[in-house]
Amino acid sequence: MSDNLPELTKSFTEDFLHNEEESVLDSLPPEILPEILVRLPTKAIIKCTSVCKTWKSLIQSPTFISDYLRHSATKNDHPLLLFRLCSENLAKAVESLRRDIVEKEVYALHWDDNKDFSEHASFDFPFHGQSINGVFRVVGTCNGLVCLADDLYRYCYNFIIWNPCIRKFVQLPRPHMRFSTHGGYDASVGFGFDSESNDYKVVRFVSLQNKGSFGKFPPEVEVYSLATGEWRILEASPPKGCVPYRDQAFVDNQEAFVNGALHWVALRRSKKKLINFVMVFDVGDEVFREIALPNLDECALSDSIWAYGNSLALIQHSNLWVMKEYANASSWTKILSLADQGVRMGIPRPLGMGASKSKARGFRKSGEVIVEMGDGQLISRDLKTEEIKDLGISGYGFTFVGSYVESLALLDNPNQRAKTTEGLAFLDEANSAITEVQEWDEKDFAMELFRQMFLMPFLSSLTQ
């Protein structure tokens, strides 16, 4: 599929080159130039920053970056999906806490079109080999930016905001709430955009172990703002409840960014019952809300919440629900059971046993649910007709799918690494229990002991 640009014939450009006359478009009024540039693909725009000073400052201006995003987002007839895929070898290695330095995480953009689901672009992964856990967790995508967190299994604080189209990234500084400062905790992370202040934010909901039993008190909240480049602990208190980090073996999706707010499934302990509800955080105003979930009686640990158009979808006990009217809890409607016709939802299984059941991975623009089958094959299923389509792609675990829009976000930032560039420095001391040591070879084990007992304390004393 092409980028839908009309083709000027070869003779047009050849004529132009061979003509000694003046250039074609030298008398162009200044307001026309952005109209032309905004229609260029990202690679060409980046190249054009080298044309002259005027072009460079135009392209890097926040106004143009916003205009480019708006133009990119309204090309609705050719929506894109970002896939993060792991090979079978890589997934197995990560699940067994083994380092596999050969296999790379794959990041690819596909056209979200039933007639042509081909690949539009694939990205070189610049952080290969830097993950302590083996693969990064994709927190979410927003306006062409991808937020990565290296927190799959261990306490680790390597957060990255990355624009793969223009190869720019920002590595976040360490957050305030860590194992070494606050003790054990459970945390969930979200990534969103504040359209009022044109700022991107990373939000952490942290439930501290030393505060008592989970679900009885509100979590601590820490927010990183790209504009300030810093983390800040929020004064305002969220509603009581715990937003547990659920690893991929249990739950298919962590957060949903919709209508300017982040949504997580939270747990609350009320009397003797454990209740699920949706914790909502407005990224702009930084205020909290709640939305009730259907089936209050059963607290399903495997509930997962998803962005679905302008509203939310919920997967609970293999059933797919959609909230027809955003924020109106009574409009939750059961749409489909995913446990039939051979497409069955993942039931929580202990790590390492190898999920043989299929799992939901995301939604297409037109609302079909994308499912990863037990053998790795990715399919999409129409919610009305229940028709299944083979997408021709495979993922073997840790698969991420999200809608994507090409943008120039981060172009006005230099590539930033946090002060300590070593991924290891983000690994928290002592805790990160190496449970499955038998999978490591002796050399790895000895290295890890060395790191934990000697190198880490030394490095963190350097960065204090």
Partner 1 sequence: MKFCAVKQYFDDENNNNITSGASTTMIPLPNVESHPLAILITYCKKHLKIKANNADNKKETEKEMEQYEQELLKKVMPQELTELILAANYLNFKEALDFFCRAVASAIQNKSIEFVRKFFGLESDFELGEEEKLREEFAWSFEGVDED
Toward partner 1, which CB reaches closer, 52 or 301?
A: 52
The per-residue DSSP string of 228-296 comes to TTEEEE-SSPPPS-B-----TTT-S--EEEETTEEEEEEEEEETTEEEEEEEEEETTT--EEEEE-S-T
- Please answer whether residues 162 and 172 qualify as being in contact, where contact means their C-beta atoms are separated by less than 8 angstroms: no
Site for partner 1 in 147-186 (CB under 8 A): 167
Among 1, 19, 301, 419, binds partner 1 (CB under 8 A): 19
Min. distance of Cβ 356 from partner 1 in angstroms?
41
Is 40 a binder of partner 1 (CB under 8 A)?
A: yes
Q: 112-116, long-range: CB within 8 Å, 24+ apart, which pairs?
A: 112/79, 112/80, 112/81, 112/364, 112/365, 112/366, 112/403, 113/1, 113/78, 113/79, 114/389, 116/1
Under rule CB under 8 A, residue 17 binds partner 1:
yes
Question: Which of 5, 76, 310, 385 contacts partner 1 by CB under 8 A?
Answer: 5
Residue range at the interface with partner 1 (CB under 8 A); choices 9-17, 142-150, 185-193, 342-350: 9-17
- Binding segment (CB under 8 A) for partner 1, from list 26-34, 273-281, 302-310, 453-461: 26-34
| 6 sits near partner 1 (criterion: CB under 8 A) | yes
Q: Which is nearer to partner 1, 53 or 271 (CB)?
A: 53
Is residue 39 part of the contact set for partner 1 (CB under 8 A)? Answer: yes
Q: Is 349 in the site for partner 1 (CB under 8 A)?
A: no
* Binding residues with partner 1: total (CB under 8 A): 44
The nearer residue to partner 1, 111 or 440, going by C-beta atoms, is: 111
Does residue 329 belong to the site contacting partner 1 (CB under 8 A)? no
> Could you tell me which stretch among 47-55, 106-114, 364-372, 455-463 binds partner 1 (CB under 8 A)?
47-55
Beta bridge partners of 141: 146
The encoded tokens of residue 207 equal: 């439930």
458 binds partner 1 per the rule CB under 8 A: no
Closest to partner 1 by CB, 19 vs 195, is 19
* 377 forms part of the interface with partner 1 (CB under 8 A): no
- Of 47 and 419, the one with the shorter C-beta distance to partner 1 is 47
Stretch that binds partner 1, among 37-45, 238-246, 277-285, 297-305 (CB under 8 A): 37-45
Residue 160: strand pairing partners: 148, 171
- Residue written as tokens 């709640």? 290
In terms of CB distance, is 17 or 101 closer to partner 1? 17
Buried b (16+ CB within 10 A) or exposed e, 418-432: bebeebebbbbbeeb
**Counting contacts by CB under 8 A, is residue 20 touching partner 1?**
no
Instruction: Note whether 74 binds partner 1 by CB under 8 A.
Output: no
Residue 46 interacts with partner 1 (CB under 8 A): yes or no: yes
Judge whether 288 and 236 are in contact, CB under 8 Å: yes
The burial class, CB within 10 Å (0-12 / 13-18 / 19+), for 342 is exposed
* Residue 16 in contact with partner 1, rule: CB under 8 A: yes
Buried b (16+ CB within 10 A) or exposed e, 275-314: bbbbbbbebeebebebbebbbeeebbebbbbbbbeebbbb
By CB under 8 A, residue 296 contacts partner 1 = no
Contact with partner 1 (CB under 8 A) among 1, 15, 57, 366: 15
Find out whether 442 and 434 touch, Cβ atoms under 8 Å: no
d(CA 381, CA 388) in angstroms, rounded, equals: 5
Rule CB under 8 A: is residue 36 a binding residue for partner 1?
A: yes
CA quadruple 68, 411, 84, 128: dihedral, nearest 10: 160
b/e map 150-182, b = 16+ CB within 10 Å: bbbbbbbbbbbbbbbbbebbbbbbbbebbbeee
1, 30, 56, 245: residue in contact with partner 1 (rule CB under 8 A)? 56
Which parts of 76-95 interact with partner 1 (CB under 8 A)? 77
Residues at the interface with partner 1 (CB under 8 A)? 4-9, 12-13, 15-17, 19, 21-29, 31-32, 35-37, 39-41, 43-44, 46-56, 77, 167
